[in-house]
Structure 1
Amino acid sequence: MFARFWGRFVGVRISAQGEVAEILRDPCGGLDCIAWEDDGLTIVASAVPAWLPVPRSWCIAFDRVAQALHDPLLVWEDLLLDGPVAIFPGTIQPAPLETLPTALWSPAAIVRRGAAEPVADAEAAASLTMSLDDAVRALALAAGPLAAEVSGGLDSSLVAASLIRVREDVAPWINLYGAEAQSDERPYAIALGAALGIDILSVPHATGPLTEADFEAISRGVRPGLAGIDMHHDRDWSDRLRTAGATAIMTGRGGDSILLQGATADVFTDLWRARGWRSLTSPALTGLARLNERSIWSLIAGARRETEARPARRNELITPIAHRTVPRWLNDCDDLGPAKVLQIAGLIDGIGRQSPSLQTRTLSVLTPLLSQPVVETCLALPATQLVLGQRDRGLARFAFRDRLPSIISERRSKGEMSAIYGRMVADNLDFLRPWLLDGRLAEVGLIDRAAAEVLLSRDNLIWRGTYGEIMTVAAVEGWVRAWSQRLVPL
């Protein structure tokens, strides 16, 4: 099936006796899948709505909550609940559910296959163009009234350049802008609109106070609502697009990772691991040295001593733990270079960002850059080819150079939204401090209260940031509270 079909799907094979025999989930995880057994009945679902009773044996798995707080990628893997079973993307789960699943697809396997079958740059560019065009066409033609996000960045511009070839009735083409210059992408969106012949609606980023009701609204699913942390924005766009008559929106989400935004020294390390001393003849060496403002000797030295994965950044709000779980797809990467490992980590995060949010309750959010054809194309290409030796997303820029205005295809800066989210945290510290310091995570010892007292302050936000870490923990807190209430026996 994975070779013949792609999209958001779950497959269930029924035995001759009418029982669930096997459950299959698509490789790119666009549709969640969980299963459980209750009174002799096997239930397979993508969600557990509030009206559906859950078995009394279910409980919050605080050991996995602790792991997920240290590495949020784990939120999209095993459930933080004991009882139901999550079907992992690209796997088949036999019955009974206690049986170990079989992995049929993995990113690392695609990377290795690509390494064994290298292609020239022109062929790689053609493959990328074809896979994105095909994915956009399939998603667009299956959708009803369709809107599209045009951020002003490269990723959504690539999608837009493919979309105009398929649908003439897209409305609105919508752009988000922030109050600061670095988060105002309207000049780039306007340039894209002129080049593609489309009218773009620019709307300001919606803001407002954070409340317990906001976190409750994003915490009803079986996973914490990390995909819906920007609640006011999601609600605003849902209202606008519903009023406009759209039932789906196409976005460029996932492009940063799968197209390889990071043209860092890690890219040369990947090349060194693949070619050894022969990599010194590659133009990528001087190109990456220039881009990263480093000497070629430091790149070589760094590549030679690169023997293990770098430790993840620690969230100081969280109580340290003795052992940290590695996401499943990253456990199979010992022979891969750090740039490809980072690409796979970004894919895991991208899968999670397709999870339910306030926006997905009213709209189908379509992400062609996270579709199986595009993902497999990009995983199979080496990091040096994806950046063409010296540019972030260099291959994508080259492949679409004739469809995009040069202000976008040759752009070296990137829109920055961190100030928006920093202000959201700073303006809501009066809510977030008691929400975290007196919440369930602190009660069970997963939040370091002393550290949190310091981190949840304006001074810390100014000097150290940590906006993302704070909002991640706040969302997990909301989920734990919501499920603690739901699992109380009636």
Structure 2
Amino acid sequence: MGRYLICSRSPDCPADHPLPAGLRSRALADGMTVSDLSEATWLAVAGPGCPQVLGVGAWRLIGDVYNRHRPAVGRIRTEDPHDYEKKMIARFWGRYIGVRLDGTGRLTSLLRDPSGALDCVWWKQGPLTLVASDVPDWLAAAASQGWRINPARVEAALHDPYSTSGDLLLDGPAALLPGTLQDIAGEEPVTLWRPDWIVRGAAPVTDEAAARSLREAVDETLAGVVRGNGALAAEISGGLDSSIVAATLAARGKGQVRLWLNAWGPDATADERPWVEILAAHLGVAATSVPRAVGRLTEDMLDQLTTGVRPGLAALDALHDADWARRFAEAGIDAVVTGKGGDSMFIQPADIGVFVDLYRERGRRALLSRTLPDLARWNERSVWTLAGQALRRHWTPQAIDSPNPLIAPRRHADVPRHPWLQDIEDLGPAKRRQILGLVQGCGLHGPSLQTRVVSVIHPLLAQPVVEACLVLPAGQLTLGRRDRALARQAFGDRLPEAITARRSKGEMTAFYGHLIADGLDVLRPWLLDGRLASMGLIDLDRADAALTREALAWRGGYVDIMTTAAIEGWVRAWERRLPGA
């Protein structure tokens, strides 16, 4: 994944000041390419997928920028003070940030694209304004004066991991939210794009038009990926989402894909090779299936979970992450394309929440619709259960199925959730869950061992696809009968029927259960004697009971355990980086 660092001097800072000169030297030593945006501002970039610079009016967009096929600029009012920036966001998509300089060449404003695929962290250090996609050790050592770990936000991250893609867990630097503009003078950031705005601006369309819009959005996104990258790899799991991406990629750039890669687990539920073989034969490609990496957890692996300014939740399976990073490097891959995010955007599961959304739209007429018995049958519930939940006006599914069994009760209740999850109570539960999945998807763009060697791209979380899915009601995305039904219809002619009709899904629970159980000798002291425990954020009695083979066999909890382990690693890493904090 490409990285960048921007350094802009204040008017009273001479060009030979030791701080900007020292940072420039360190950036060059880190393998970054440095160029001047002006006399007062320089930019350092590095690969893989080295960010490019595109001038658009007064803005310079840094990253990967593509033109939209049908930009919806006509909906933006010209009397809006930020109409130019909103039209720019509507006209382009990609992975980028925008910078605007004043007449003296100094940084005045920042902008981040709605996808959140390229992070934007900014802070002031002495006479400098610094902006970066991440904060490696050398940058933290040189320019993190006054930074502190914020215990309340660390606690919030444990209780609500989705929050880690919003505000940082540090006091000092600030993270710009996707779709937001920041005036460096110190004013509050201005929101230019929110997912609920897209939802509320939707107009009804037929199922045929909706399916066409999904297909066009995925085609547009993959066309940009093929055009903007070199040698590609496609991650194919055998499921619907990765199959849609692989089929579209095969239609648009088959010759550019050097590796169609699948990893299979050791038990039948984790072995997707039969589905991958069906897909590969249908697409006329040669799939490479490899066993999922196995081994024992070590403290070094847990340390590797946290490689950046945010907790490393993008690659909780460190063994798999390291194995695929090695395979991509050996194959000379520039970018890998995944199907992640499709569950949320295309709507899975098609559960009670989908019918509650429909009831909110249609009122009691929904009780007479074909959707009620169809969804009841799909969920193996009675029609009375679905109808009863819909009539309970304030019912909503839980964002997190069950609380993390390792952590202590929350002490700081005043830490806000991710801004995209605020003020959306008027939306139905299925739409709220879709937005929640989008927030979670922002975390998938974080650094990992793979992003050190290739660009990791999630097309189903790109702006064209996200907007195409947000404007469609959950009932339409499921066609009122099953998960991701509209996507199955939209791409039915590109996929084998076995894939589009499939009801099951690969399951890695047993695999990860064994991994955790075999690593308890490392995980128990890591968590029970760690920094989170000393901060009072771990419930030692409950964690002691949960971190046993018996508890794992009965209750599982892989994601909770590894998420907590990753946040523990993040705290340890930043305490090393900020020894005086």
Report TM bin, short chain. over 0.9
- Residue 227 of structure 1 is matched in structure 2 by 314
Alignment-derived partner of residue 441 in structure 1: 532
State the Cα distance separating 1:125 from its structure 2 match: 0.3
Taking the TM superposition and a 5 Å limit, the aligned residue runs for 1:90-129 are 90-97=179-186, 99-114=187-202, 117-129=203-215
| Mean CA deviation greater in 403-412 or 306-315 | 306-315
* One-letter amino acid matched to 1:120: T
- Residue identity matched to 1:122: E
Contact 2:247 2:283 in 1 (8 A): yes
Q: CA deviation at 1:63?
A: 0.7
278-287 or 82-91, larger mean C-alpha shift: 278-287
1:418 Cα deviation after fit: 1.7
1:255 and 1:407 map into 2 onto residues whose CA distance is: 18
Of 94, 115, 118 in structure 2, the residue corresponding to residue 28 of structure 1 is 115
Report the counterpart of residue 299 of structure 1 in structure 2: 386
- Which residue number in structure 1 is paired with residue 471 of structure 2? 380
Contact 1:132 1:374 in 2 (8 A): yes
Distance 2:574 2:513 in 1: 28
Residue of structure 2 in register with 1:64 after alignment: 153
Moved more, 301-310 or 405-414: 301-310
Equivalent of residue 352 in structure 2, options 265, 271, 292: 265
Partner of 1:32, secondary structure, is coil
Provide TM-score, normalisation by structure 2.
0.82
Which of 7, 13, 29 does residue 100 from structure 2 map onto?
13
In structure 1, the partner of 2:283 is 196
What's the CA shift for 1:280? 2.0
| 1:7-406 equivalences in 2 (<5 Å) | 7-52=94-139, 53-97=142-186, 99-114=187-202, 117-169=203-255, 170-311=257-398, 312=400, 313-322=402-411, 323=413, 325-406=416-497
Q: Is the 8 A contact 2:125 2:145 kept in 1?
A: no
1:464 counterpart = 2:555: yes
State whether residues 141 and 166 of structure 1, in contact with CA within 8 Å, keep that contact through their aligned partners in structure 2.
no
TM-score (norm 1): 0.97
Alpha-carbon separation, structure 2, partners of 1:427 and 1:159: 35
| Matches of 2:199 and 2:239, distance apart in 1 | 27
Distance in 2 (CA, whole Å) between partners of 1:372 and 1:274 is 26
Residue 236 of structure 2 contacts residue 338 of structure 2 at CA under 8 Å; is this kept in 1? Answer: yes
Moved more, 14-23 or 145-154: 14-23
Q: Is the 2:389–2:395 contact (alpha carbons within 8 Å) kept by the matching residues of 1?
A: no
> Cα distance, 1:96 vs. partner?
2.7
Structure 1 or 2, whichever has the larger Rg, is 2
Q: Partners of 1:188 and 1:259 in 2: how far apart?
A: 20
CA distance in 2, matches of 1:102, 1:122: 36
What's the offset of the Cα at 1:254? 0.7
CA deviation after TM superposition for structure 1 residue 331, in Å: 0.7
SS at 1:7 equivalent? strand
Q: Could you tell me how far apart the structure 2 residues matched to 1:352 and 1:384 are?
A: 27
Q: Following the alignment from structure 2 to structure 1, what is the Cα–Cα distance between the partners of residues 472 and 173? A: 37
SS where residue 202 of structure 1 aligns?
A: strand
CA distance in 1, matches of 2:334, 2:319: 19
**TM-aligned CA deviation for residue 443 of structure 1:** 0.6
RMSD between superposed Cα atoms in Å = 1.3
CA distance in 2, matches of 1:296, 1:288: 8
The alpha carbon displacement at 1:489 in A equals 4.3
After superposition, give the CA deviation of every residue in 1:393-425 in whole Å (9 maximum; x if it has no partner). Answer: 000001111111111010000111122221111
Partner of 2:25: none
CA distance in 2, matches of 1:5, 1:183: 39
Displacement of 1:19: 2.4
Structure 1 CA distance for aligned equivalents of residues 237 and 380 of structure 2: 29
**What is the distance in 1 between the residues matched to 2:204 and 2:226?**
31
Structure 1 residue 202, shift from structure 2 partner = 0.1
**Structure 1 residue 309 displacement after superposition:** 4.0
Q: How far apart are the structure 1 equivalents of 2:355 and 2:197?
A: 21
How many Å separate the matches in 2 of 1:43 and 1:120?
Answer: 48
Please identify runs of 4+ aligned residues in structure 1 that moved more than 3 A.
Answer: 308-312
* Alpha-carbon distance, 1:310 to partner: 4.4
Q: CA deviation at 1:54?
A: 2.7
Alpha-carbon shift at residue 16 of structure 1 (Å): 2.0
Q: Is the 8 A contact 1:50 1:220 kept in 2?
A: no
For residues 301 and 291 of structure 2, what CA distance do their matches in structure 1 show?
A: 20
8 Å Cα contact 1:268/1:299 also seen in 2: yes
Partner of 1:428: 519
Tell me the amino acid that sits aligned with residue 393 of structure 1: R
User: 1:308 deviation in Å?
Assistant: 5.0
Distance 1:251 1:326 in 2: 28
CA distance in 2, matches of 1:198, 1:372: 28
- Count how many residue pairs are aligned between Structure 1 and Structure 2: 487
Name the % identity: 53
Judge conservation of contact 1:153–1:415 (CA < 8 Å) in 2: yes
The residue type equivalent to 1:289 in the other structure is A
Amino acid across the alignment from 1:319: A
What's the secondary structure of 2:137's corresponding residue? coil
Specify whether residues 382 and 451 from structure 1 end up closer, same or farther in structure 2 by C-alpha distance, changes over 3 A only.
Answer: same
Distance in 1 separating the partners of 2:439 and 2:580? 34
